Structure 1
Amino acid sequence: MEGFKLHSQKSISNILKTREGETKFGEKISFIQDFEALASSSSKYVLFGIPEDIGVRANLGRSGASRAWETCLNSLLNIQANQYTKPENLILLGEVDCTEALEKASNIDPKDPNYIQKLGDLVSKIDAITSAVVQKIVTAGKIPIIVGGGHNNAYGNIKGTSEALKKQIHVLNIDAHTDLRKTDIRHSGNGFSFARKDGFLAKYRIFGLHQNHTPQYIFEDMLHSANDGYRLFEHLLLMPSEKIVQAFREELEFVSHDNFGLELDCDAIKGFPSSAQTPSGFAINMIRNFIRIASEEEHIKYLHICEATSNDTSEAKVGKALSYFITDFIH
């Protein structure tokens, strides 16, 4: 597929750090030579990355999400392959080729009056590739795991899944933000409003929404919507952990009776390196719990992990966390 790079055992060989007497996850993970081979694979889950931060920049956020995918692979492929991690249940598909788009974005002058519009045009091109990949995976009866990138990529996940199933889908989003901003220029803050506008999104729930970062007009829009709902983080933070889990199960109940996707924005995690890092949020272990609970649902169709940022000092933390999230989901 144009705009997508398939991975192979050879292409990841420089990432693997093998050790005598042990087997690493990357040595047992599955690969395919073309998209047509998806349906015949015995693996249930398909992992791919979207290494970009153009949507975040178009939303005036902090760059760095483009490195999360590489950081994820460096960690995931080198964890242990054993009876609990189950690498044979995962296909490593590859990544959306964002090299040209990132180069074009870097060459746009921020002082250009059309700077945001030009970034949005690049985001739309990534949307098209992402939705096509997700559509092929879901059509083959597999469950995609997508590592971003910005939350702009939620649009491609929802569109691709909806088109594969030929119906609207529901979404549960663990997030500090709604990403329901106005549908003008494509960016990381309006993936769900565009998905709703274009007829792909049915019910939409946000778990852990931060009141300080949600515009009043969005609260009003959700209040008047029969399909949208949220749980404020401020209403959860004083609860004991078992009550928080119960609240998550209640939100899951709104979407899990039919096909739905699970979105995880790392901005929701306390102290986690992300495009809108927060000192107040969910603990990583609580997020792992949410993922495990949602993964057990019959109608779950994808997992999207986004907005993590990585640099030389945060790489180990980010890589390990993303690896935990993925193995929790496929477990």
Structure 2
Amino acid sequence: MTSKIKIFSPEIISDLTNQRQGETKFGEAILTVNSLENLEHVEAEYVLFGIPEDIGIRANKGKPGAKNTFIPVLKSLLNIQKNRFNQPENLVILGEVDCDSFLEKAEQLNSDDENYDIELGKLVSEIDEIVTQLVKTIVGFGKIPIAIGGGHNNCYGMIRGVSEALEMPINVLNIDAHTDLRTLEHRHSGNGFTYASEEGFLAKYFIFGLHKNYTSEHIFDLMDQKKDIKYFFFEDCLHLTSLDKLVKLKTGVDFLNRKLGLELDCDSIKDINSSAMTPTGFSVRDVRTFIKLIRKEKTHYLHICEADASKNDLIGKALSYFISDFIREED
């Protein structure tokens, strides 16, 4: 498994950091390791890594591009200021899952072939195994993983990895326009939670910001039958103040017993370039307030997915705010 992880050296971090006299950037004080096993010996609480793929998105007939997001996010994060409010010493930059061979195989597939989606799904399943083992190792060392995707298919590896490390199913809060509870067909970005639930890794599941226009009647019927799944519509947030939104989010956190994995699908954020970009959704400000609330709970992991930051520097910057908010110790 370690052969499928690209460990980022201090030189890589330095190349992405713009140093300036009289200031200390995040990247100048951030922690790195030279092997996955060395995570055991660092005191930092959080471990950041990327999953640069969009195969699961393509297998779900979505818009590709999420494979390009981790480096722009990392560059933005490394260039924030180290000060009394930002403590880079509490974060390890691990590196990224090596998805190159999977992406090459995906490109070689014939998109007109009737088995195209199925073949993509096989590649997704291989990535599942790598993400699962990586997350299981990180959590086993007592750390909290932060993953930047990549497609939402990687929620499966995040959930399974934490679940196996803790030896119990876990609860998950998903800020998302979609449920990703599609059927148990080939693996893709739309059925990660279905697989995690069916295989016993997912306990309670709460979707916050679900869009009425993109949820099938079949999914509503499914959720109505399951007492461990609840949701709150984005449409019911339209008239709410920021405080009222937090109150509604808190009901989801309480439903999950205040112990949860946090999924943030950028499809839920208005005008963020993503696999299913939306003109109506939460604002970046909304999401930052949500993270501020959730990070005070027992949070097993943070997974941010589906964004494409390759053509807009502001997207990488927005996601770097989400990360710095999540790991911030004050307030």
Shorter-chain TM-score category?
over 0.9
Distance 2:291 2:180 in 1: 20
Q: TM-score, normalised by structure 1?
A: 0.97
Specify the alignment match of 1:13 in structure 2.
Answer: 14
Cα distance in structure 1, aligned partners of 2:88 and 2:261 = 22
Residue type matched to 1:160 in 2?
Answer: G
> Are 2:136 and 1:135 equivalent residues in the alignment?
yes
Q: What are the superposed Cα offsets for residues 129-177 of structure 1, whole Å, 9 maximum, x if unpaired? A: 0010100111111100010000000000000000000000000000000
CA distance in structure 1 between the aligned counterparts of 2:274 and 2:86, rounded to whole angstroms: 26
- Structure 1 residue 223: Cα displacement: 0.4
How far apart, CA to CA, are the structure 2 residues paired with 1:115 and 1:79?
A: 42
CA contact 2:175–2:268 (8 Å) conserved in 1: yes
1:310 Cα deviation from its structure 2 partner? 2.3
**Alignment partners' CA distance in 1, 2:302 and 2:211:** 22
Q: Partners of 1:135 and 1:30 in 2: how far apart?
A: 20
Structure 1 residue ranges (4+ consecutive) displaced by more than 6 angstroms after TM superposition: none
Q: 2:326 corresponds to which residue?
A: 329
What code does the residue aligned with 1:42 have?
A: E
Following superposition, the deviation at residue 112 of structure 1 comes to: 1.3
Any idea what the Cα deviations from partners look like across 1:180-209, whole Å, max 9, x if unmatched?
Answer: 000110000000000011110000000000
Cα deviation for residue 39 of structure 1 reads 2.2
How far has the Cα of 1:229 moved from its partner? 0.6
Q: Percent identity?
A: 51
Please give the alpha-carbon distance, in whole angstroms, between the structure 2 residues aligned to 1:99 and 1:36.
23
Partners in 1 of 2:118 and 2:277 — Cα distance? 25
CA distance in 2, matches of 1:247, 1:44: 29
- Structure 2 counterpart SS, 1:12: helix
Question: Does residue 1:318 correspond to 2:305, yes or no?
Answer: no
Q: Deviations over 1:60-85 (max 9, x none)?
A: 00011001101111211111111112
Counterpart residue identity of residue 272, structure 1: I
Indicate whether 1:27 and 2:24 are aligned.
no
* Structure 2 counterpart of 1:325, one-letter code: F
Q: Secondary structure at the match of 2:277?
A: coil
Residue 53 of structure 1 aligns with an amino acid whose one-letter code is: D
Instruction: Please report how far the alpha carbon of residue 330 of structure 1 lies from its aligned counterpart in structure 2 after TM superposition.
Output: 0.1
Verify: 1:184 aligned to 2:181, yes or no: no
State the SS of the aligned residue for 2:206.
Answer: strand
Aligned to 2:200: 199
- 1:106-138 per-residue CA deviation (whole Å, 9 max, x = no partner) reads 111101111101110110111100010100111
User: What is the CA distance between 1:317 and its match in structure 2?
Assistant: 0.8
Partner AA of 1:285 in structure 2: R
- Does the 8 Å contact 2:73/2:309 carry over to 1? no
SS in 2 for 1:10: helix
Cα deviation, 1:240-268, whole Å, max 9, x if unaligned, reads 2211110011111111444x200000000
Aligned counterpart, 1:266: 266
In structure 2, the residue corresponding to 1:226 is in which secondary structure?
A: coil
| Counterpart Cα distance in 2 of 1:239 and 1:75 | 31
Separation in 2 of the partners of 1:51 and 1:251?
A: 30
Please name the residue that 2:99 is paired with: 98
Counterpart in 2 of 1:243?
A: 244
Distance 1:126 1:17, change over 3 A: same
In structure 1, stretches of 5+ residues that fail to align are: none
- 1:38-79: CA deviations, max 9, x gaps? 222110000000000000000000011001101111211111
Map of 1:136-285 to 2, 5 A cutoff?
136-258=137-259, 260-285=260-285
Q: Is the CA contact 1:45–1:144 (under 8 Å) kept in the aligned structure 2?
A: yes
Q: Partner of 1:294 in structure 2?
A: 294
Q: C-alpha separation between the residues in 1 aligned to 2:74 and 2:242?
A: 31
Aligned-partner SS, 1:204? strand
Could you report, residue by residue, the CA deviation over 1:249-302 in whole angstroms, capped at 9, with x for unpaired residues? 1111111444x20000000001111111101101101100111111111x2110
How many residues of Structure 1 are paired with residues of Structure 2 in the alignment? 327
Q: When the two structures are superposed, what TM-score results if normalisation uses the length of structure 2?
A: 0.97
Residue 33 (structure 1) shift: 1.8
Task: Name the amino acid aligned to 1:77.
Answer: L
Say whether the 8 Å CA contact 2:135–2:157 is kept in structure 1. yes
**Cα distance in 2 between the residues matched to 1:51 and 1:202:** 28
**Contact persistence 1:256–1:300 (CA under 8 A):** no
Unmatched segments (≥5 aa) in structure 2: none
